[in-house]
Structure 1
Amino acid sequence: MYLLGRLNMGGVEISALRLLTHLTAQYRVNPVIYAISGQTGYLDDRFRSVGATILYGKPGALGLLAFFKHVRAQRPDIVHSNVSLPSGFYLLIAWLAGVKIRIAQFHSTALPQRSVLHRAQSSVGRLLVNRFATHIVGVSDGTRSLVRAAPEKWQVIYNGVPAANDVALAGSNPFLITLLGRLAPEKNLEKAVEIFGHLKSMGDQKWKMQFVGPGTSDETTALKAKVLAAGLERDVHVTGPTDNPLVVLKGSGLLLLTSNREGLPTVVLEALSVGTPVVASALPGVLEIAGQVNGVIAVPVAAPADEWTRAITQSAAASRQTIASGFAHGPFGLDRQVERIARLWTLEAKDAKP
């Protein structure tokens, strides 16, 4: 049983879909997705298409009772939770229901600033994760700081993306800067608008920028208002979500990531896999990627716009072929992630003899 919040177009959900697609093709596994929000999502049918069953929970304390009933009815061998520190509450319930393998996986290095009550709930959740998880997994080593896991329970399994078979240089726009992901506050998109405004003020009119990703009506309206206020509406476009992120990234000259917090940003891995250079916030997960493959320039989040623009112009000269080739030989391949998760779940390959 694989716990997620809601099956929308986020990095965690896309990574889970990619993982389960390959696991169900290669191993004997019957995944059950448990959406703790109780809400349907954009990717529901995509998960069903790879053989997953989707169950919908309920929010709040009543949701824990509903989860207990579902676990008792389904009797899963494993509960694998991907809902940050609240995972502790769900793994406690899984323990009470008799589940032997209980996994908490962490995808971020920090939580958003919230109320005193939320901070208290997070503290309790952290204690419960460390008590009731049999395994604690991080998508980067930096995520360990959030959960403070004991060494004997902790391991890092990188999110994987498939290496590109080719790098389509033809058709890419070397002066197109792409931001790919949710239009959420933690993505710090106003910083991107500021950086682009500074870049245009330097006199080079060839540069364009696009924001590609889902957002609420309020988030989309607020972003467009910032672009308009900066006088950049002719060169900056907000396009909405895409089902083909690799196509978008292949057509871009550069990926820009201005987030305030991330775990191991999948979009950075996707960009590098097709040879697209990256300029990104110097967060722990970004630095972990930059330390192992080429193509990433990390800039402190609070750095002035001119430091970001220097990194952008420097990245424009990078070799896409060199970036893609280096990525293909690095540690972030999808096959490696699939193998590690299969071992964690003790799965049997479909071609194994009975």
Structure 2
Amino acid sequence: MRGLRVCEVVKTLNVGGAEVLLVERLLMARNRSANRAVDYTVICLWASTGELIERLRSAGITVIDLSGCPRPLVYARLVTTVRRIAPHVLNVHSPAPAIALRPLLRFARHRPALVSTVHSERWPKTMYLDRLTRGLDDRTVAVSPQVARSRAVIGARHVLTRMHGVDVREQWRWAAQASVVRREFDVHENTFLCACVANFRPQKNHRMLLQAAREVARTRPDTVFLLAGDGPLLDEVTREVRERRLGGHVRVLGPVPDARRLVAAADLLVLSSHYEGLPVVVMEALAAGVPVVSTRVGGVPDLIISGRNGILTEPGSPDALARAVVQAMEPQTHRELRAGALASADRVDMAGTAEWFEELYEDVVRSVKA
């Protein structure tokens, strides 16, 4: 269907899981389709960094950033902006803007097809209103089987599951340059590098990670943990590293541009989250052949099988996480887990996701017109 106008709405365009999935898919769609049969516009309400916006605009994708709009007026501006664009399809990736848009657009005379993509199984306060209005969507897409089974999609009429994936070839390229990246971050070649790429927010539970890192360092003093990300708890975690005197084994990097290269250069990806959707960083690790040690939350068990491509532990236990990291560091175990991670790369390949969404958009537009 040529000339299809699609508007993708996301609350923020910071470097986080949902945002990265959206950006990577749209870049893949643009690279795949030379004739540009689909015209994409991305609207974000806030953006604290221009990294993702610049990547989209460099690929010729229109981005409307409403960050300059006063907070009390931002949702009214969002509605008028979407109406002005008059898309054939509206795909909303965050509950709050979906709540504002669904009732006003579902009953419009020339309404768009309404799609929501659900990236997390968590249940914030906005989810109650989200649940009340979700039945107005024409399609709901869950990013993992775990999300599709969760209460985050209660009220949806048509739920589809699509594991988005990442650019596997790009991760292979970064993995081939691992020694260069490690030198950039001053990691000695004989050091065992554990990377944690996760924004500094309560659900990521960095405090537990620091407790586990202290125990790991006692057993394996050749270990270094590099923590990359942004967020409201960045300063607090940095201060705690200093107070715990972990500086020799834990380094807080803050925001790292194109942090997937750090993932590809690591020996192990470590996550300590309370909850997740389907973390992009886990897919990036598997694509590069990097094993994962993580808490058993969200969609992580859909990708990580303990003893095959990583090790899962129960959330909330720093001792269990530390034991899992030490176990994964054993030479024979690490070789087996790395081989398993490489064998899992096909499962996280984004190659078909862009095409899948464009076929979904065409199908839902036809069903609305009918």
State the TM-score bracket (shorter-chain normalisation). 0.7 to 0.9
**Aligned partner (choices 208, 213, 216) of residue 229 of structure 2:** 213
| Bigger mean CA offset, 37-46 vs 92-101 | 37-46
Distance 1:340 1:11 in 2: 19
Secondary structure of the corresponding residue to residue 54 of structure 2: helix
Distance 1:281 1:71, change over 3 A: same
Is 2:217–2:249's contact at 8 Å kept on the other side of the alignment? no
Is 1:79–1:94's contact at 8 Å kept on the other side of the alignment? no
Secondary structure of the corresponding residue to residue 253 of structure 2: strand
Distance 1:293 1:336 in 2: 28
Distance 1:15 1:277, change over 3 A: same
Letter in 2 for 1:315: A
What RMSD over aligned residues (CA atoms) do the two structures have, in Å?
2.6
Distance 1:175 1:257 in 2: 16
Secondary structure of the corresponding residue to residue 343 of structure 1: helix
Matched, 1:307 2:307: no
Alignment of 1:35-54 (within 5 A): 35-37=44-46, 41-54=50-63
Alignment of 1:177-192 (within 5 A): 177-192=194-209
**Match of residue 294 from structure 2:** 280
Runs of 5+ consecutive residues of structure 2 not aligned to the other structure = 1-6, 183-188, 364-370
**Aligned partner (choices 244, 257, 263) of residue 258 of structure 2:** 244
**Aligned partner (choices 114, 118, 134) of residue 102 of structure 1:** 114
Residue-pair matches, total: 334
Distance 1:215 1:64, change over 3 A: closer
Distance 1:343 1:82, change over 3 A: same
Distance 1:64 1:329, change over 3 A: closer
Could you report, residue by residue, the CA deviation over 1:84-131 in whole angstroms, capped at 9, with x for unpaired residues? 36523322222244333111111111135xxxxxx3x4312211012x
CA shift at 1:201, angstroms?
2.6
Distance 1:306 1:65, change over 3 A: closer
**Match of residue 352 from structure 1:** none
Secondary structure of the corresponding residue to residue 303 of structure 2: helix
Alignment of 1:35-114 (within 5 A): 35-37=44-46, 41-57=50-66, 58=69, 62-84=73-95, 86-97=97-108, 98-112=110-124
Matched, 1:6 2:12: yes
CA shift at 1:333, angstroms?
1.1
| Bigger mean CA offset, 166-175 vs 99-108 | 166-175
Letter in 2 for 1:340: W
Runs of 5+ consecutive residues of structure 1 not aligned to the other structure = 113-118, 348-354
**Match of residue 129 from structure 2:** 124
Could you report, residue by residue, the CA deviation over 1:147-199 in whole angstroms, capped at 9, with x for unpaired residues? 33467500111121122446549737561111112112211000100001111
Distance 1:311 1:321, change over 3 A: closer
**Aligned partner (choices 195, 201, 205) of residue 218 of structure 2:** 201
Is 2:306–2:312's contact at 8 Å kept on the other side of the alignment? no
Distance 1:35 1:306 in 2: 40
Is 1:86–1:125's contact at 8 Å kept on the other side of the alignment? no
Could you report, residue by residue, the CA deviation over 1:316-342 in whole angstroms, capped at 9, with x for unpaired residues? 232365234312332x21112222212
Q: Between the two proteins, what is the percent identity of the paired residues?
A: 23
**Aligned partner (choices 26, 30, 42) of residue 24 of structure 1:** 30
**Match of residue 162 from structure 1:** 167
Letter in 2 for 1:65: A
Is 2:13–2:47's contact at 8 Å kept on the other side of the alignment? no
Distance 1:338 1:279 in 2: 29
Alignment of 1:135-174 (within 5 A): 135-144=139-148, 145-149=150-154, 153-164=158-169, 165=172, 167-168=175-176, 171=179
Letter in 1 for 2:215: H
CA shift at 1:220, angstroms?
2.3
Is 1:36–1:59's contact at 8 Å kept on the other side of the alignment? no
Distance 1:128 1:245, change over 3 A: same
CA shift at 1:284, angstroms?
2.9
CA shift at 1:252, angstroms?
1.2
Letter in 1 for 2:17: G
Distance 1:126 1:214 in 2: 30
Distance 1:152 1:215 in 2: 34
Distance 1:345 1:321, change over 3 A: same
Distance 1:259 1:198, change over 3 A: same
